[in-house]
Amino acid sequence: MKITAWAWVLLLMGSAGVTARAAEVPAVNVDVTLTGIDVLARDGFAALDGRKVGLITNHTGVDRHGKTTLALLNEAPNVKLVALFSPEHGLKGVVDAKVADSSDPLTGLKVYSLYGETRKPTKESLAGVDTLVFDIQDIGARFYTYIATLGLGMEAAAENGLRFVVLDRPNPITGTHVFGPLNDRNGKFTGYHTIPVVHGMTVGELALMYNRERDIHCDLQVVRMEGWRRAMWLDATNLIWINPSPNMRSLTEATLYPAIGLLESCNVSVGRGTDTPFEVIGAPWIDGRKLAARLNGLMLPGVRFMPYRFTPDASKFKDEPCGGLQIILTDRDAFEPVACGLAMARELKLLFGDDFQIDRVDNLLFNKAILEKVKASSGPEDYSHYWADDLAQFRKTRAKYLIYE
């Protein structure tokens, strides 16, 4: 008699005195963090009762069931949706270039792009609006542009006498990790406010900080989450991962992004045009074995480097074979992304000289003094002591605006 693999499993379980019954499977915790839109909808949209709303959102603005904030506000009987605004990558999050104005097929409303001719809502686009609502998923890095769109929207609200409501969402890489130097310039689209590369705040908390520290003083309201704690990674919330931009495809990539993203303005590929953007770096002139050996020798916490070859089918070095690295996250809690990113920049410069344009790191680091110290370093070094005092002061300021334990 032929016995199937599953029959063998049942026989073995029986011989051990184990009965395979579904009732004996341990219960799974299915608690889901309630985001701002979940709380708003549960409470009957009371915070927007009678308001004429301009919604700043994209495809990440969804409730825990996957229904868009746009649809929910459009259906709410006590809310009038008047205008729509989209950030970088557009309303659907698929455009990797400047975004034009468009129209929304669900509502028929015009969608004003905040990543085209203007990056701030104009007086004309706000006609008939008395409340701006922001609902976009951030990833926790200073140079990810959605938090600049947040600040510019708040400025527009203040200038036009509007209320500004933030529907809060988790920081996917936790609200406890704070890394890197502060930017020495602010007001830039990839460096809107003086915060470190990894800020450890939610968009609601950042809005509270912007409002006071930047003297915006708009009529601000944050609809807080429920069930989120600062130490939680996004995969502990039971919320669905939605790619917040075309090349941000996993929580691992969001974790690595503050490190690898520092190199994006330089003459290296960061994996755009591959299946694993922000998990690899490369260029035709890089010897991946040499670079991996040097970086692994530094014993950077939470990360290892593997020699890797790839050929991007888009973006930088399109259709050119590249040598480089696959960056492997081994302990996300121990990983220090800014130290990792600067170490990669230093080793690229030491190994490949003028082939690597290290000065371009400052296009996203926004701290010339720190970059000069990296360039002048003659050996492996922990750069974090250079920004320790500034980071300590930031933590004191940040503490005034934290709204979750």
- How many angstroms separate the CA atoms of 206 and 193, rounded? 9
What architecture is the 251-366 domain classified under in CATH? Alpha-Beta Complex (3.90)
Buried b (16+ CB within 10 A) or exposed e, 164-193: bbbbbbbbbbbbebbbbbbbeebebebbbb
Strands 131-135 and 52-57, sheet pairing:
parallel
- pLDDT of 30 reads 54
- pLDDT of 32 reads 87
Q: Model's pTM, two decimal places?
A: 0.92
- How many angstroms separate the CA atoms of 246 and 273, rounded? 10
- How many angstroms separate the CA atoms of 301 and 387, rounded? 19
pLDDT per residue, tens digit, the chain (405 aa), is 344 433 333 333 343 333 333 344 444 445 789 999 999 999 999 999 999 999 999 999 999 999 999 999 999 999 999 999 999 999 999 999 999 999 999 999 999 999 999 999 999 999 999 999 999 999 999 999 999 999 999 999 999 999 999 999 999 999 999 999 999 988 899 999 999 999 999 999 999 999 999 999 999 999 999 999 999 999 999 999 999 999 999 999 999 999 999 999 999 999 999 999 999 999 999 999 999 999 999 999 999 999 999 999 999 999 999 999 999 999 999 999 999 999 999 999 999 999 999 999 999 999 999 999 999 987 777 889 999 999 999 999 999 999 999
Amino acid residing at 11? L
Is 36-244 CATH 2.60.40.10? no
Residues in the chain: 405
The secondary structure of 213-245 as a DSSP string is: HTT---EEEEE--BS--TT--GGGTTPPP--SB
Q: Per-domain residue ranges for the chain?
A: 36-244, 251-366
Q: Which two tokens stand for residue 308?
A: 């890797």
- How many angstroms separate the CA atoms of 359 and 265, rounded? 9
Could you count the other beta carbons within 10 Å of the beta carbon of residue 355?
A: 14
